């Protein structure tokens, strides 16, 4: 009964639209037929008499015919009444030279009186009358065109009515044999997830292996992970491997502006899936419809919640859905309703995370199959340089390298194109190099400050390169090798000190008055890092307390304002601890800059000349001018 009430406004809306469209259809048909009739009448419907008179300029006139008859020169006249044409035969002339005279469309009494008075032979001959046939063809053609126009508008009306009736039908794409072109061999970097899903494929192909020991098929598998890690690709691989009917739909396609439509589409989807069981139903971005209930404005009784309720019922309700496996993907598991995540609906949650070193190497091997790489390109070296890259990032990076290779008219991708592609993906397009000026020298000191402090500190990541060629919004860049080890307190302090190296170099070299805004992004990063040390990791004098959580999501209807998880007194102490960490690291950075002023000047001169210094060359320069503790630089170059 509730569903009928929900569908009532929809039916009224479509009835109104249907009546309105029928009225418009009748008006359009009437206007079109009328206009067509007038146009064709104007083109071919002119009176025959007028057309004949137009041809009389090259023939004898009517008055000449009467004069010839009265003068006795005419021997015989043949009259064609259908054409209103008289053929005149003169005395003493052969019949082949007979002249034609066009008569008027009326009875022509003068003509018949002259014929009778002069005793001229009159023969009446009727030629085939094509006007009736032409009129018949014309009207038949007109009727045919009118019928075609009527059928066209009726078809449109019926399609609109059909769309109204199919409004609650599922929009899922269906493939009896899912030929996605993707198999498990094409998916790399997420071996654990592949093993979990391989069992699902085996269950669909050989269910007796599991049912013999009392195992039942999983009802749902939820793929969870950051964007670009391969969740949709895994679903395509499952469909390609299983060889069973495959339904695919996005979570947003369930939701419409009319209440009840989404629930109707869920019912229709599962009805089709049960008819084709065993099968797979893939719902991409399920968080669009599966968000927590009771978080909307106005009590939460909206279209999305009704759709979610229907989805919960179909997945695990009174009616079973044996043989239907639901595979869903999301990158926001924290917003999903708890009833959707319980066993019986989604029995498994497969984490699809960023790939490890071995995983990145496998992904690069997959995407490098159709690319021509130079012998100097090492996929393992690329994998080591790209921690934190997702599968989509790696694929995009290799594609950018191929584009740069084609632009530079090279036959194969070299390590130079790969390096440029990595930098382009991370930092953006390369900017025009700065001219030799005060600005260029200031940028050089700023970047050398980052690079030198990062090289001298023990727990910092090794330097890859330092450059004063800007990319994106940055006028210069300093690259460090990303580390995959578990971060420690010293690691965070060294990173904050290296980040402050640019601002410290500006202040020590040029003075307080010459400090620029170039460190604005650096300050945001280090402040966030220092605050996390205090509030999340317990790395401060406040003790091992977690004062903030990972999620800062605000749900309308539940928390309209962010709520502090600690008192104002603790908040003041947090600010003091953050300031203390940053102040300590900044003083340390300034001290390192002052102690190595000569070395910094030497490196800046080289950087201005070369514009880019690789990490190995930078460490060699530092070794020549600074006594580094034994084993420090060696460990960084290993």
The catalytic position among 303, 447, 506, 507 is 447
Respond yes or no on whether the N-terminal peptide bond of residue 414 is cis (omega within 30° of 0): no
The C-alpha torsion from 511 through 513 and 514 to 518, rounded to 10°, is: 110
d(CA 74, CA 64): 11
d(CA 164, CA 429): 49
For the question of residue 192 being annotated catalytic, the response is no
Q: Give the list of residues 6+ apart from residue 509 with CB closer than 8 angstroms, or none.
A: 445, 593, 597, 600
Residues for the chain: how many in total? 638
SS3 content of the chain, % helix, strand, coil (to 5): 55, 10, 35
Alpha-helical runs (H) found in 189-246: 191-205, 208-211, 231-242
d(CA 440, CA 608): 8
636 near 619, Cβ under 8 Å? yes
Tokens coding 221: 């598998």
Within 332-456, strands assigned E span 348-351
CA-wise closest residue to 351 among 436, 226, 235:
226
Tokens coding 342: 């319980």
d(CA 531, CA 578): 6
Residue tagged 């997830």 (tokens): 193
125 near 134, Cβ under 8 Å? no
CA-wise closest residue to 345 among 248, 217, 219, 251:
219
Tokens coding 154: 């009726």
Tokens coding 53: 């008179």
The residues annotated as belonging to the active site are 447
């Amino acid at each position: 009964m509730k569903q009928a009430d929900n569908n009532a406004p929809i039916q009224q809306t479509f009835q109104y639209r249907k009546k309105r469209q029928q009225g418009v259809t009748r008006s359009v048909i009437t206007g079109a037929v009328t206009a067509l009739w007038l146009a064709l009448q104007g083109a071919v419907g002119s009176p025959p008499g007028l057309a004949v008179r137009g041809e009389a300029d090259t023939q004898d006139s009517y008055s000449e015919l009467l004069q010839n008859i009265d003068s006795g020169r005419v021997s015989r006249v043949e009259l064609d009444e259908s054409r209103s044409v008289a053929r005149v035969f003169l005395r003493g002339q052969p019949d082949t030279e007979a002249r034609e005279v066009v008569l008027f469309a009326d009875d022509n009494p003068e003509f018949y009186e002259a014929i009778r008075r002069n005793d001229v032979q009159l023969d009446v001959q009727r030629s085939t009358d094509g006007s009736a046939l032409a009129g018949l063809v014309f009207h038949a053609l007109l009727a045919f065109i009118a019928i075609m126009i009527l059928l066209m508008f009726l078809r449109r009306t019926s399609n609109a009515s059909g769309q109204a009736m199919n409004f609650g039908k599922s929009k899922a794409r269906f493939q009896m044999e899912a030929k996605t072109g993707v198999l498990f061999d094409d998916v790399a970097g997420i071996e654990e997830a592949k093993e979990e899903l391989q069992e699902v494929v085996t269950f669909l192909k050989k269910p007796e292996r599991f049912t013999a020991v009392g195992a039942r098929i999983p009802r749902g598998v939820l793929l969870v992970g950051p964007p670009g890690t391969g969740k949709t690709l895994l679903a395509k691989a499952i469909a390609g491997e299983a060889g069973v009917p495959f339904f695919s739909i996005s979570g947003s396609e369930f939701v419409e502006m009319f209440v009840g439509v989404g629930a109707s589409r869920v019912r229709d989807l599962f009805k089709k899936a049960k008819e084709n069981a065993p099968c797979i139903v893939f719902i991409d971005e399920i968080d669009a419809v599966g968000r927590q209930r009771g978080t909307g404005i106005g009590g939460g009784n909206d279209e999305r919640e009704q759709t979610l309720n229907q989805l919960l019922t179909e997945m695990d309700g009174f009616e079973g859905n044996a043989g239907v496996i639901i595979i869903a993907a999301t990158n926001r598991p924290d917003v999903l309703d708890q009833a959707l995540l319980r066993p019986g609906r989604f029995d498994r949650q497969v984490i699809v995370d960023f790939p490890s070193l071995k995983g990145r190497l496998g992904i690069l091997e997959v995407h490098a199959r159709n690319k021509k790489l130079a012998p100097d390109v090492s996929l393992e070296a690329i994998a080591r340089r790209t921690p934190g890259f997702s599968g989509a990032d790696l694929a995009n990076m290799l594609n950018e390298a191929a584009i740069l290779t084609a632009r530079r008219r090279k036959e194969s991708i070299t390590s130079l194109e790969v390096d440029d592609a990595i930098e382009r993906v991370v930092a953006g397009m390369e900017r025009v190099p700065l001219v030799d000026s005060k600005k260029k020298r200031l940028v050089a000191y700023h970047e050398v400050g980052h690079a030198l402090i990062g090289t001298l500190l023990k727990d910092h990541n090794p330097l890859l390169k330092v450059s004063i060629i800007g990319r994106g919004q940055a006028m210069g860049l300093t690259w460090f090798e990303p580390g995959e080890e578990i971060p420690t307190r010293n690691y965070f302090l060294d990173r904050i000190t290296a980040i402050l190296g640019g601002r410290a170099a500006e202040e020590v070299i040029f003075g307080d008055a010459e400090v620029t805004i170039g460190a604005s992004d650096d300050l945001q990063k280090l402040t966030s890092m220092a605050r996390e040390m205090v509030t999340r990791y317990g790395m401060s004098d406040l003790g091992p307390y977690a004062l903030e959580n990972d999620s800062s999501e605000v749900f309308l209807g539940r928390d309209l304002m962010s709520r502090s998880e600690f008192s104002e007194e603790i908040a003041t102490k947090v600010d003091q601890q953050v300031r203390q960490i940053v102040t300590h690291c900044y003083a340390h950075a300034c001290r390192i800059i002052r102690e190595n002023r000569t070395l910094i000047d030497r490196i800046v001169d080289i950087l201005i000349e070369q514009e880019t210094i690789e990490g190995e060359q930078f460490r060699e320069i530092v070794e020549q001018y600074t006594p580094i503790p034994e084993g420090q630089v060696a460990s960084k170059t290993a």
